[in-house]
């Protein structure tokens, strides 16, 4: 059955519901707005930003609780040309409120934007960031308010990002990395590069220059004509990987044996004159050959000379006299680097030198060289002679008897 006026009952009911919803949206805008949140409201902040904002706000609120009832008298100047007027200053939730004697608000300063024009001086003068013409002056008698504002400013400042500090830290880290490269990586890299590229001629020149400086202390090399011939024969019998060994017998200075860049081996005359067998001095020569193979003599020199000497050698091909003098003195007192017994035995076998005479020359009791003695590769068979008996006698007289 239909009603005489209006819509049929189903449509009337629909109309009443639509009208009710429209009245709700019109009469209660806040409720309606709550149905459709504003995307710019805090609830739409990214989680990290919202968390940071809450964190900063909580720190500021903690500091505000201590000063929420403080008021002070101040002098306020709204513009540079205006007269200063006495006002009442109070601290709000996030602002400094400036009011007159009738409690009428004159201005609100946002706390994070408050700056001080004269830090550490009185009367304290504050101004809003970006407008130094508007000022607020607090006298010495308002010390509590001054301290409150400074504490709040410091609390807020700690919560702000400091890109300048980050740049400073990044710059210092970069400088530290460069310095670390210069101190720890560059010297070794430059030394290794020089050891690879410096030609044999330059190595020989450096070794000869070092020898001339060593002989100033040790005396001139022993050089009897017959002895030198015998020494050359021994050098040919015990060659270095790059050719015949350049052997030099010194009357003093060198403790026993040493080596220099360019394949030069220094021998103390006692190794030849104090022993009856050539195997002793031959053992020392083989040991120096092995040390030169295990550690490049030029690298050892550059280690001692330092980075600047290395760079000078790479760029000019020259070495400073001071670097040569220092290394020559070092060689006279340096102890020989130890060699593993297995390596030494392999070397003596390769150069066909008996180990026993050399081992007993190192330790006459044989206690510390027992392993070398027992591992002598020629304990049962004799290798090829190092020198003839006549040549050995001539070599023993190389220093003049």
Contacts of 214 (CB under 8 A, 6+ apart): 250, 253, 254, 266, 328, 331, 332
pLDDT of residue 203: 92
Lowest mean pLDDT among 106-115, 346-355, 358-367: 106-115
Lowest mean pLDDT among 27-36, 291-300, 331-340: 27-36
Q: What is the CATH architecture of 66-159?
A: Roll (2.30)
What confidence category does residue 65 fall into, taking pLDDT thresholds of 50, 70 and 90?
low
How do residues 170-222 score in pLDDT, each as one tens digit? 888 888 888 777 677 778 888 888 888 899 899 999 999 999 999 998 899 99
* Averaged pLDDT for residues 350-367: 95
Share of the chain above pLDDT 70, in %: 80
Give the mean pLDDT of the chain: 81
CA 276/CA 242 separation, integer angstroms: 29
Report the 10 Å Cβ neighbour count for 111.
20
Check: pTM over 0.75? Answer yes or no.
no
Contact 292, 240 (CB under 8 A): yes
CA 326/CA 304 separation, integer angstroms: 8
Q: Is 136 left (phi over 0), alpha (psi -120 to 50) or beta?
A: beta
* Cα angle value 137/157/135 (rounded, 5°): 20
Question: Where are the domains positioned within the chain?
Answer: 66-159, 190-396
Contact 287, 340 (CB under 8 A): no
How do residues 20-44 score in pLDDT, each as one tens digit? 444 444 444 444 344 444 444 433 3
How do residues 80-123 score in pLDDT, each as one tens digit? 888 889 999 888 777 888 898 888 888 888 888 888 888 888 88
Output the six-digit token pair for 367: 């206690």
């Amino acid at each position: 059955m239909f009603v005489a006026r209006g819509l049929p009952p189903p449509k009337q009911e629909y109309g009443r519901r639509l009208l009710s919803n429209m009245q709700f949206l019109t009469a209660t805008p806040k409720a309606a707005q709550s149905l459709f949140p504003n995307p710019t409201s805090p609830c739409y902040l990214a989680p990290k930003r919202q968390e940071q904002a809450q964190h900063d706000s909580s720190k500021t609120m903690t500091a505000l609780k201590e000063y929420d009832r403080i008021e002070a008298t101040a002098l306020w100047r709204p513009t540079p040309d205006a007269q200063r007027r006495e006002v009442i200053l109070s601290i709000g939730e996030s602002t400094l409120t400036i009011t007159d004697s009738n409690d009428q608000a004159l201005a609100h300063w946002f706390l994070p934007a408050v700056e001080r024009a004269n830090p550490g001086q009185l009367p304290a003068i504050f101004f809003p960031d970006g407008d130094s013409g508007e000022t607020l002056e607090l006298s010495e008698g308002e010390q509590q308010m001054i301290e409150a504002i400074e504490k709040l400013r410091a609390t807020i400042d700690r919560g702000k990002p400091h890109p300048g500090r980050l740049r400073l830290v990044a710059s210092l880290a970069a400088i530290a990395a460069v310095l670390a490269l210069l101190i720890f990586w560059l010297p070794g890299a430059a030394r290794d590069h020089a050891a690879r590229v410096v030609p044999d001629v330059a190595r020989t020149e450096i070794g000869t220059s070092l020898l001339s400086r060593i002989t100033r202390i040790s005396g001139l090399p022993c050089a009897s004509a017959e002895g030198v011939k015998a020494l050359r024969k021994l050098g040919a019998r015990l060659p270095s990987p790059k050719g015949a060994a350049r052997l030099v017998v010194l009357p003093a200075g060198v403790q026993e044996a040493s080596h220099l860049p360019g394949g030069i081996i220094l021998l103390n005359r006692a190794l030849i004159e104090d022993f009856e067998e050539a195997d002793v001095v031959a053992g020392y020569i083989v040991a120096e050959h092995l040390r030169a193979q295990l550690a490049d003599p030029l690298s050892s020199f550059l280690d001692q000379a330092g980075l600047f000497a290395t760079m000078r050698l790479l760029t000019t091909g020259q070495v400073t006299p001071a670097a040569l003098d220092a290394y020559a003195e070092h060689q006279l007192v340096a102890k020989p680097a130890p060699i593993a017994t297995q390596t030494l035995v392999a070397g003596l076998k390769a150069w066909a030198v008996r180990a026993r005479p050399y081992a007993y020359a190192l330790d006459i009791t044989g206690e510390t060289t027992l392993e070398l003695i027992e591992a002598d590769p020629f304990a049962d068979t004799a290798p090829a002679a190092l020198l003839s008996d006549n040549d050995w006698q001539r070599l023993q007289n190389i220093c003049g008897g």
